[in-house]
Amino acid sequence: MEGLLKHNWTEEEIENIYNQPLLELVFEAATVHRKCHPSREVQVSSLISIKTGGCPEDCAYCPQAARYHTDIKVHKLMEVDEVKAQAESAKAGGASRMCLGAAWREVRDNKDFDKVLEMVKTVSEMDMEVCCTLGMVSEMQAKKLADAGLYAYNHNIDTSEAFYEDIITTREYDDRLRTIDNVRKANITVCSGGIIGMGESAKDRIGMLKTLANMDVHPESVPINALVPVEGTPLAEQPRIAFHELVRMIATARLVMPKSMVRLSAGREGMSLSEQAMCFMAGANSIFAGDKLLTTPNPDFNDDREMFDILGLVPSEAFQHRQEEVVNE
Ligand code: SAM
Ligand code: DTB
Ligand code: SF4
């Protein structure tokens, strides 16, 4: 199986995978998926927006950027008890991972960070994987999160390096990569992916996958978000991504990072059961569950339970997916 992993992908190789006839691509991805993962298992993560809105960054897709006038409920950092209560109900609904998201540019060493460390400790003691997405972190901050029991850190590269400046100007691609490095050094698993449907080209999508797939260790989770266009953001009028492009992206991610969890992330609201089934067939094996992502709607637990029953899928147990990866080249 180690032979399947490589870290020196060329753009052309990924392009050739991505541009195959769709059903050939899906079949190949399904085959590799079955070699590397228990094919009926889907990891279920639940999101809590622990601090909502008022963010100083200018990410063009994001309803939480203070500079755009969106209809979200701004909220300061939540209390530890509220987070614990929400994690308990997510666990009862079948979630094995809790992802705590904050609308911060970066972590600061202050009382709020101490509170987040307390949240991480509390939820990890409930035998759930805890993931945080708090913006940029230093190596020292990442170590503190690791000591508190953090299992994963989400930091998306979002798109290709070339398209990045069309979407975000308040930080650089290299800043994102540096944070991911800091997370690795602290021995926390990495969750990193991006968004499609922002007006990027297929070349940009391939470029994004190349950056992820050529990391020394592949991110353990790769979220593929379909843009949720939100009124008030610069990308509000973007047309919804064509379903077949989402499938193509998921299948290619599965093939270039065979052992990673590929998460069918934002954009499930409004997708039919058969569309989602095709994404699972193409190698997606993780979802966000719960009726809200951070600020936008998501299918609720009961709808997902019904979908799992119909498709014969089962939620996976916590703590199974840390990669013991050998870099071949
Ligand atoms: N502020 C932190 C950061 O940017 O890393 C953490 C929270 S931020 C909301 C996490 C991720 O959510 C972003 O990197 C982006 O990929 C995704 N996201 C935000 N708004 C989205 C939208 N409207 N549609 C799809 N994905 C979105
Ligand atoms: C990720 O890749 N997607 C999640 C999570 N990581 C933090 C966030 C999606 C946010 C969608 C827009 C919203 O609900 O605000
Ligand atoms: Fe802020 Fe994160 Fe939204 Fe960008 S994606 S505006 S950093 S909350």
| Ligand 3 pocket, residue 64 CB under 6 Å | yes
**Three-state secondary structure call for residue 202:** helix
Taking the CA of 293 as reference, the closest ligand is 2
DSSP category for residue 158: B
- Please give the Cα distance from 254 to 20 (Å, whole number): 14
Task: Give me the mean pLDDT over the 296-306 stretch.
Answer: 94
**How many Å apart are CA 230 and CA 71, to the nearest integer?**
9
Nearest to 179 by CA among 157, 209, 210: 157
Model confidence over 151-198: pLDDT tens digits? 999 999 999 999 999 999 999 999 999 999 999 999 999 999 999 999
CA 216 to chain centroid: 19
> What are the CA-CA distances from residue 35 to residues 92, 167, 216, 258 (Å)?
30, 37, 22, 9
Residue 48: phi, psi to the nearest 5? -125, 130
Task: Indicate whether 51 pLDDT > 80.
Answer: yes
Q: Are 265 and 193 in contact (CB under 8 A)?
A: yes
d(CA 153, CA 175): 15
Model pTM greater than 0.85? yes
Query: Which pLDDT does position 4 carry in this prediction?
Result: 78
Would you state the pLDDT for residue 321? 58
Which of 97, 184, 205, 263 is the catalytic position? 263
Q: Do 238 and 277 touch, CB atoms closer than 8 A? A: no
**Architecture of the CATH domain 12-315:** Alpha-Beta Barrel (3.20)
Q: What is the mean pLDDT of residues 242-261?
A: 98
pLDDT exceeds cutoff 90 at 3: no
Distance 61 CA to ligand 1 centre (A): 8
| Three-class SS of 84-147 | HHHHHHHHHCCCCEEEEEECCCECCCCHHHHHHHHHHHHHHCCCCEEEEECCECCHHHHHHHHH
28 CB within 6 A, ligand 1: no
Q: Which of 43, 45, 46, 47 to mutate to test the pocket of ligand 2 (most atoms within 8 A of CB)?
A: 47
Among the options 36, 97, 184, 191, which is catalytic?
Answer: 191
Query: Over the stretch 192-230, which tens digit does the pLDDT of each residue have?
Result: 999 999 999 999 999 999 999 999 999 999 999 999 999
